[in-house]
Structure 1
Amino acid sequence: MLSQTTPPPRLRGRREPAWRDRIAKRLPDLSRLRAFRRLWAAQTISYLGDQVTVVALPMTAVLTLGASASETGLLAAAGTAANLVFSLHAGAFADRYGKHRATMVSADLGRAVLLASVPLAYWLGVLTLGQLYLVAFLTGTLAVLFNVSAVGLFTAVVPRESYVQGNSLIRGSYSFSWVAGPSAAGVLVQMMSAPIALIIDVASFLGSALLLRSIRPPEPVNRAVSGHGVREGLAFVRRTPALRAKFAAETSLSFFHSVYFALVILFAARTLGLSAGMIGLTLGVGACGALLGSAVTGRTSGRIGLGRAYVLGSLLYPAALALVPLAPDGGWGAVALMTLAQFGGGLGLMLCDISGNAIQQALTPGRLRSRVQGAYLAFNAGARPLGALAGGLLGDRIGLRPTLWIAVIGGVASVLPLLPSPLPRMRDLPRRPVDLEHIAKGR
């Protein structure tokens, strides 16, 4: 574990200002760790670029190539299909070879090259939906490798007692990207074009790779992981009640949110009549709720309990999105409801995400973390292409607004597996991982 820098002693007879004491209590010692600062900065930059792509890629399909609802759903499915196909094996690979930082750098560079091909093809006049599908699938594949490796690098840099704080800071960066990314994407698309806006994401991946190359934390190699490693990770999840309930609830929620997200930009543009700039601004301003959520999760979990904070976020996240299908066609009323929906959804997402990540990391033994994260992505993110395809098909057959209602109702119902589980009764972060021998005996 990396050593922490001891702060200089206070001068005798000199009292620090009260505001400085309050800030010092809120800032974790993580902020003094060089490796964590650079990991945090790398992920912040990468998240920001990702949010530009999340808006710019479907806008490229809709505004530049005239994609239909089913084609937009297929594009969203292509971007997340790799989670379903590769996550389990990617987790076993990361646990066995342990080179998390190098894998993340390679994934960043690969995604930069792939996304750069879109504006290049646009300039040459040869851009097609087929290329967008391929780019979405391949960048999604590299994202799987990046994400399963990020868990191992995070736990190599962050002390166990600081998992909630570390997740709060990193997910706070994710929240910031929700604010700045969609707004920037909407403005860039309005000023230039959707394909050209992807250049911002190319630059973000290059910056992230440079920062990650500058840190070298200890990363033990786990050669004991074999072909059976995938099954071992799945067995651990299956026999751990808290993780089993978490995976079931989040897989269902991920499916229905993908139904929602596959259509929300199309719904805002064609049904509500909002411009590209207004859509980006609405998503960005509304995402201030995610910033608030990342700031209050620690205090909320301390007051009501970590498990209850997780359940509360899991309910609030989809429930807030009901305001979108309630929005009237056109006008400031549509803008206001979409903004409120994004605000409440972002707040709930951070409560759910930060507390849920900390619980999963604390319950999982170190040598299984990448495999458990791989299993999580296989179920949670693997449900996204199915949801996106279902959203596209339902949107074409029954209409955009009714499909959004299905997504909201299904998302709210996803909280049900959590209620009888140990999670609502989990007050604090577990002090130690679940005993592997205990799990192996099926107790």
Structure 2
Amino acid sequence: MSDPRRPVPPSLWRDADFRRLWTGQTASQIGEHASLVVLPLFAVLTLHASAGQLGVLRAVGQAPILLLSLFAGAWVDRWRTRTTMVLTDAGRALALGAAAVAGLCGVLGLPALLVLAFAVGALSVFFDVAYQASLVRLVERDQLVRGNSALEGSRSAAQTGGPALGGALVSLLSAPVAAAAGALFFALSFLSVRRIRRTEAIPERPGPTPRVWRRIHEGLRFVAGDSALRAVCLASAVFQFSFAAVMTVYLLFLPRELHLSGTVVGLALTAAGPGALLGSLLAARLPARFGHGAVLVCAAAVGDGVFLCVPALHGSSAVTVPALLAAGFVFGCGGQLVNVTVMAVRQAVTPDGMQGRAAATITFVGMGMTPLGSLAGGLLAEEWGLRTSLLVTAAGMMLSPVVMALSPLARLGRRLPAPPAARAVTGGEDGGQQAAGGATLRT
């Protein structure tokens, strides 16, 4: 078994295809994070959307996670991830480009925003599942922790640059210009990913190709058959539901309760980026020193718990903005520690032919709760007020580390697990697949 404390193999960054994947994923994430800020801010600041309308807008953008994740996993396990990423990048670039034109023509209203949010969200589901599976097909398994650390570090940069860019462009220029900027980043990702030259080894299966529903069922059985994976699904579902509610309230709380401009709101949201970058760096070392389970529970408890302090903020921006930046930094660091650690574990213990479906199944269970959370956040904000709703939804996030602490996840040791022989994928008469052992992932 490989030692994750080993220095980064020189071949990782010297590999041109890995660099192309890294560049494309970074550009794609910047475009995605920018659009996640552009659309809500345009609705709040320009269309004067109510809390309920903002909740609906966010829910529509997140609905594809619930509707399409399982299909995306079945698709990715049968097709080259490069092809999937290229097509989704092209689609998102065209969608945001069309939004920019519509905005310049004065027809970018709430109905158009709803359609755009759903389209971008649907394409992002396929891209995210594909890029998670692509790393396993590009690097050796003993490089997964380092590779994920690099990719998640780029996502951290996107979390820093995306919201800042989106907020600044909406505030200083216009939503159409901000949408056009997002389209350019997706186009850059398209150009980078399509240059990947390595031929992917698509896992072969004996016999005829099973129907898509059968492949989806295989992924569900794989995840449901493992107690650790079931705990991950529950912890992720609780977190994603509560976090979606928090962000719906938060995007209203900052401009309306704390009276911050769109630019400052974007700045506050970027604080998670540097924190996530630090979390990516720590994730390459801390699990090997303290154990994967200890890192998961402690990082989730500290990162999620910091949001309980935000509802107490009052006063001038000279006081509130530094506090918001500090809270975002801690949240980003803790969340990224969890994400990098569990993604590497899940990839290491999952057979190659199940990578896309395993990722998609857990995304479906966890991230699939985000539309409901966004709607709940909007309803709570209208009924209870922004400050009380923010406190209640932030408290809900703390259930996630509690679930992990009471589950097999807390007992993971310092070494990266490897799939036992029993985990090898076997096909029965019905084409089903069995799995044994432990695997973890919190999306």
CA 1:331–1:197: 2 relative to 1, 3 Å: same
CA 1:413–1:285: 2 relative to 1, 3 Å: closer
**TM-score, normalised by the number of residues in structure 1:** 0.90
What is aligned with 1:60?
42
Tell me how far 1:441 sits from its aligned partner.
8.2
What is aligned with 2:430?
none
Deviations 1:398-437 (A, max 9, x none): 1111111111111011222222322222122112263446
Q: Does residue 327 of structure 1 match 2:309?
A: no
**TM-score, normalised by the number of residues in structure 2:** 0.90
- Partner Cα distance (2:216, 2:23) in 1: 31
CA 1:195–1:302: 2 relative to 1, 3 Å: same
What is aligned with 2:259?
273
The answer (yes or no) to whether the contact 1:262–1:388 under 8 Å persists in 2 is yes
State how 1:252-271 maps to structure 2 within 5 Å: 252-271=238-257
State how 1:285-364 maps to structure 2 within 5 Å: 285-364=271-350
Tell me how far 1:187 sits from its aligned partner.
2.2
What is aligned with 2:171?
190
Deviations 1:148-201 (A, max 9, x none): 222232111021011111110000011111222222222222320233212111
Tell me how far 1:286 sits from its aligned partner.
4.9
What is aligned with 1:429?
416
Q: Does residue 31 of structure 1 match 2:16?
A: no
What is aligned with 2:441?
none
Tell me how far 1:225 sits from its aligned partner.
4.0
- Partner Cα distance (1:228, 1:286) in 2: 39
Tell me how far 1:327 sits from its aligned partner.
1.1
Letter in 2 for 1:332: A
- Partner Cα distance (2:33, 2:120) in 1: 14
The answer (yes or no) to whether the contact 2:164–2:267 under 8 Å persists in 1 is yes
CA 1:285–1:86: 2 relative to 1, 3 Å: closer
CA 1:369–1:339: 2 relative to 1, 3 Å: same
Deviations 1:121-153 (A, max 9, x none): 121111110111111111111111112222232
- Partner Cα distance (1:63, 1:441) in 2: 50
What is aligned with 2:3?
none
Q: Does residue 174 of structure 1 match 2:151?
A: no
CA 1:413–1:150: 2 relative to 1, 3 Å: same
Q: Does residue 440 of structure 1 match 2:434?
A: yes
- Partner Cα distance (1:140, 1:185) in 2: 17
- Partner Cα distance (1:207, 1:258) in 2: 29
Tell me how far 1:329 sits from its aligned partner.
4.4
State how 1:90-129 maps to structure 2 within 5 Å: 90-96=72-78, 98-129=79-110
- Partner Cα distance (2:269, 2:108) in 1: 27
Letter in 1 for 2:407: S
SS in 1 for 2:407: coil
- Partner Cα distance (2:418, 2:106) in 1: 58
Report the RMSD for the aligned CA atoms in angstroms.
Answer: 2.0
Q: Percent identity?
A: 36
The answer (yes or no) to whether the contact 2:347–2:355 under 8 Å persists in 1 is yes
Deviations 1:246-281 (A, max 9, x none): 111011101100001112121100100011111112
State how 1:11-160 maps to structure 2 within 5 Å: 25=7, 29-96=11-78, 98-160=79-141
The answer (yes or no) to whether the contact 1:307–1:355 under 8 Å persists in 2 is no
CA 1:331–1:420: 2 relative to 1, 3 Å: closer
- What number of residue pairs does the alignment pair up? 419
Deviations 1:24-68 (A, max 9, x none): 945753111111110011001111122211211111111111111
The answer (yes or no) to whether the contact 2:54–2:248 under 8 Å persists in 1 is yes
CA 1:342–1:442: 2 relative to 1, 3 Å: closer
The answer (yes or no) to whether the contact 2:280–2:337 under 8 Å persists in 1 is yes
Tell me which moved more, 308-317 or 136-145: 308-317
What is aligned with 1:377?
363
Letter in 1 for 2:369: A
The answer (yes or no) to whether the contact 1:95–1:225 under 8 Å persists in 2 is no
- Partner Cα distance (1:191, 1:350) in 2: 31
Deviations 1:2-37 (A, max 9, x none): xxxxxxxxxxxxxxxxxxxxxx94575311111111
CA 1:222–1:402: 2 relative to 1, 3 Å: farther
Structure 2: give runs of 5+ residues left out of the alignment.
1-5, 428-432, 438-443
- Partner Cα distance (1:251, 1:164) in 2: 24
The answer (yes or no) to whether the contact 1:56–1:195 under 8 Å persists in 2 is no
Letter in 1 for 2:314: P
Letter in 1 for 2:96: L
